[in-house]
C-alpha cells in the first residue's frame, strides 16, 4: 500500500502519534471505568424512604437525669407536629458516618466471627426510616428493652429478637428464609423475626458488606449525639424540620442542635468526595482528548505543508480532491487503529495495577471498544481540517520550485 510506504518515511512522527493515541486510550478507558464505578457506589440503595426522612442530632448541655424519660418527652413533642408519620430516636443513621458495630456468630462456640454488622438501636426505627420488611414482621413495642435496664443488669436483660437486612441474611443463610433463625452477638442469642429489603450502614468501608445491618429493639436515652429520625411527606420536610428543631428547643432550651438535614442532604454529603473525583476524572479525560486532537491537527498540518509538492504532482496526474482527502483520512485511520490496539493492551495493564491497589474489578471489554470508537471519531475530526487543506492544494504547485 502506498500509504504504508509513505508512513515509513515518517517513522518517528508516526510512532509518536501512535504512542499518544495509545496512552490517551489507556487513560481514558480506565478513567471512564473509574467514573462508572463511582456512579454505581453513589447509587447504592439505602433501603429507606430517602425523600421522606429528616434527622435532627442534638446534645444537651450538662448531664441530665433519666435520659429515657427525656427521650419520651422529645418524641411526644415531635409526634404532635402536623404531617409527622413516624419518629424514632436512634444511635445512628444511614450514611451518617458514626456507627456502632458488632461481630456476629451463628454459634457461640465458633472461634471466628461469621461477619461484622452495624447495629441500629431504638424504638420504631424501621417505620421512621421507611425501610421495607420483605419477610417476617417488624419490631413491636413488646420487643423493646430499655438501654438503662440492659446496662444495669450487666446485659442479663437484653432484646431477644432482631430485624436484619437482606444482604446480611443472604450472607449468613444463602438462599434460605432467615426468619426464625438465631444469631449470636457475643454469647447472646437473638432470633431474627424480620428481614428488610435493604438497610445501608452509616459508614461503608467494604462495599460487599454495605448492607449488613441489624435493628435492635433497644430503647435508648436522649444522650449527646443521638438522632431523631422523622418521616413525613416529601413536600413537608423543610417545615417539619424547622418545627421539630423548635419543639426540641422547647422541651429543653439548654441543648445544642448538632445537625439537622433531610436525607437527600445526608447522602449528598456522604458522597461528596466521590462526586469531586468524578468531576476531576471527566476533566482529565476531556483535556486528554483535546490535547491529542490538537496534536493530530498540528502534525497533520505539518505533513500537509511538507508534502504540498507531492500532492500537487498527484493532483496534476489526475487525483481528485476527494482522493487527496481520503488519503489523509485513511492515513489517520491506520495510525489511530494501531494506537487503539496498543492502547487497549495498555489499558488492561493499568487496570491490573488499579485492581491491585484500589480493589477495582477487571475492565469490561465494552470500555476499550467504546474508547476505540471515541478515538476514531476524535482522530477523524482532528484530521479533517489539515486534510481539507491538502485537498485544496492546486495541481499547479507541482510545476513550482519551492
Partner 1 sequence: MFAYNLEMALRSLKRNRALTLLMVLAIALGIGASMTTLTVLHVLSGDPIPGSSAQLYYPQLDPRDMDGYTPTSKPPEQLSWPDGMYLLKAARGSHQALMTGGAVPIQSTQSTIEPFFEDARYTTADFFPMFNVPFIFGHAWTAAEDQAKARVAVITRDLNDKLFSGKDSTGQSLRVNGHDLRIIGVIDNWRPNPHFYDLNMSTFSEKENVFIPLFTSRDLLLERNGSSDCWGTDGNDGDHMETSECVWLQFWVQLDSPAKAAAYKEFLVHYSQEQKALGRFQRPPNVVLPNLMQWLDINKVVPGDVRLQVWLALGFLVVCLVNTVGLMLAKFLRRASELGVRRALGASRRVIFAQLLVEAGLVGLVGGAGGLLLSLLGLWLVRLQPSDYASLAHLDLPMLLATFLLAVSATLVAGLLPAWRACQVVPALQLKSN
Contact 307, 43 (CB under 8 A): no
Least Å from the CB of residue 136 to partner 1: 27
Stretch that binds partner 1, among 161-169, 189-197, 206-214, 287-295 (CB under 8 A): 287-295
**Alpha carbon distance 92, 201 (integer Å):** 9
With binding defined as CB under 8 A, does residue 183 bind partner 1? no
**Alpha carbon distance 211, 190 (integer Å):** 19
With binding defined as CB under 8 A, does residue 80 bind partner 1? no
With binding defined as CB under 8 A, does residue 357 bind partner 1? yes
Near partner 1 in 235-264, by CB under 8 A: 254, 256, 258
**Alpha carbon distance 193, 335 (integer Å):** 64
**Alpha carbon distance 95, 291 (integer Å):** 39
Q: Is 120 exposed, middle or buried (0-12, 13-18, 19+ CB in 10 A)?
A: buried
Residue closer to partner 1 (CB basis): 135 or 277: 277
Stretch that binds partner 1, among 80-88, 166-174, 299-307, 390-398 (CB under 8 A): 299-307
The set of cell numbers assigned to 247 is 419543639
Strand, coil or helix: 163: strand
SS3 percent helix, strand, coil of the chain, rounded to 5, is: 55, 15, 30
With binding defined as CB under 8 A, does residue 294 bind partner 1? yes
Least Å from the CB of residue 110 to partner 1: 9
Among 4, 235, 250, 280, contact with partner 1 (rule: CB under 8 A) = 280
Tell me which DSSP letter residue 395 carries: G
Residue 395 Cα distances to 310, 315, 321, 400, 402, angstroms: 10, 5, 10, 10, 14
With binding defined as CB under 8 A, does residue 225 bind partner 1? yes
Least Å from the CB of residue 42 to partner 1: 14
With binding defined as CB under 8 A, does residue 306 bind partner 1? yes
Binding mask 188-207 for partner 1 (x = CB under 8 A): x-------------------
With binding defined as CB under 8 A, does residue 69 bind partner 1? no
With binding defined as CB under 8 A, does residue 356 bind partner 1? no
Among 1, 2, 141, 358, contact with partner 1 (rule: CB under 8 A) = 358
Strand, coil or helix: 162: strand
**Alpha carbon distance 199, 288 (integer Å):** 40
Residue closer to partner 1 (CB basis): 142 or 187: 187
With binding defined as CB under 8 A, does residue 83 bind partner 1? no
Q: Is 304 exposed, middle or buried (0-12, 13-18, 19+ CB in 10 A)?
A: buried
Stretch that binds partner 1, among 42-50, 185-193, 208-216, 381-389 (CB under 8 A): 185-193
Please give the radius of gyration of the chain, using alpha carbons only, rounded to the nearest integer.
32
**Alpha carbon distance 26, 20 (integer Å):** 10
Residue closer to partner 1 (CB basis): 132 or 385: 385
**Alpha carbon distance 328, 304 (integer Å):** 9
**Alpha carbon distance 214, 193 (integer Å):** 11
Residue closer to partner 1 (CB basis): 16 or 245: 16
With binding defined as CB under 8 A, does residue 154 bind partner 1? yes
Distance of CA 23 to the CA centre of its chain: 26
Q: H or E element: which one contains 216? A: strand 213-216
Least Å from the CB of residue 147 to partner 1: 7
Near partner 1 in 91-150, by CB under 8 A: 103, 111-113, 147, 150
Strand, coil or helix: 222: coil
With binding defined as CB under 8 A, does residue 281 bind partner 1? yes
Residue closer to partner 1 (CB basis): 29 or 178: 29
- Contact residues for partner 1 (CB under 8 A)? 12-13, 16-17, 19-20, 23-24, 26-27, 31, 34, 59-63, 103, 111-113, 147, 150-151, 154-155, 186-188, 224-225, 254, 256, 258, 269, 272-273, 276-277, 280-281, 284, 287-288, 291-292, 294-295, 298-299, 302-303, 305-306, 309, 357-358, 401-402
Amino acid at each position: 500500500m502506498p500509504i504504508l510506504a509513505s508512513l515509513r518515511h515518517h517513522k518517528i512522527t508516526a510512532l509518536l502519534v501512535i504512542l499518544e493515541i495509545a496512552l490517551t486510550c489507556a487513560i481514558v478507558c480506565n478513567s471512564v471505568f473509574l467514573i462508572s464505578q463511582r456512579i454505581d457506589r453513589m447509587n447504592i440503595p439505602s433501603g429507606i424512604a430517602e425523600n421522606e426522612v429528616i434527622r435532627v442530632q442534638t446534645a444537651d448541655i450538662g448531664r441530665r437525669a433519666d435520659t429515657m424519660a427525656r427521650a419520651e418527652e422529645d418524641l411526644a413533642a415531635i409526634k404532635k407536629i402536623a404531617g409527622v408519620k413516624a419518629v424514632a430516636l436512634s444511635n445512628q443513621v444511614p450514611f451518617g458516618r458514626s456507627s456502632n458495630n458488632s461481630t456476629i456468630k451463628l454459634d457461640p462456640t465458633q472461634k471466628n466471627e461469621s461477619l461484622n454488622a452495624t447495629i441500629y438501636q431504638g424504638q420504631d426505627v424501621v417505620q421512621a426510616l421507611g425501610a421495607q420488611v420483605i419477610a417476617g414482621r417488624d419490631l413491636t413495642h413488646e420487643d423493646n428493652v430499655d438501654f438503662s435496664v440492659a446496662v444495669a443488669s450487666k446485659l442479663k436483660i437484653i432484646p431477644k429478637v432482631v430485624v436484619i437486612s437482606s444482604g446480611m441474611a443472604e450472607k449468613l443463610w444463602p438462599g434460605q428464609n432467615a426468619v426464625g433463625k438465631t444469631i449470636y452477638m457475643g454469647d447472646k442469642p437473638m432470633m431474627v423475626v424480620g428481614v428488610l429489603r435493604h438497610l445501608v450502614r452509616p459508614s461503608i468501608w467494604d462495599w460487599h458488606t454495605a448492607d449488613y445491618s441489624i435493628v435492635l429493639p433497644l430503647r435508648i436515652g436522649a444522650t449527646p449525639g443521638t438522632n431523631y429520625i422523622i418521616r413525613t411527606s416529601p413536600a413537608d420536610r423543610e417545615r417539619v424540620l424547622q418545627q421539630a428543631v423548635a419543639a426540641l428547643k422547647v422541651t429543653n432550651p439548654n441543648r445544642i442542635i448538632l445537625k439537622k438535614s433531610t436525607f437527600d442532604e445526608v447522602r449528598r454529603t456522604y458522597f461528596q468526595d466521590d462526586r469531586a473525583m468524578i468531576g476531576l476524572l471527566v476533566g482529565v479525560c476531556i483535556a486528554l482528548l483535546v490535547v491529542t486532537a490538537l496534536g493530530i491537527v498540528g502534525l497533520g498540518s505539518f505533513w500537509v505543508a511538507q508534502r504540498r509538492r507531492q500532492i500537487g504532482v498527484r493532483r496534476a496526474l489526475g487525483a481528485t480532491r476527494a482522493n487527496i482527502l481520503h488519503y489523509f483520512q485513511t492515513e489517520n485511520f491506520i495510525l489511530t487503529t494501531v494506537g487503539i490496539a496498543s492502547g487497549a493492551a495498555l489499558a488492561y495493564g493499568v487496570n491490573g495495577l488499579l485492581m491491585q491497589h484500589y480493589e477495582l474489578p477487571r475492565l469490561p471489554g465494552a470500555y476499550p471498544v467504546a474508547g476505540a470508537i471515541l478515538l476514531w471519531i476524535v482522530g477523524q475530526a482532528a484530521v479533517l481540517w489539515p486534510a481539507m487543506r491538502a485537498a485544496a492544494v492546486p495541481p499547479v504547485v507541482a510545476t513550482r520550485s519551492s
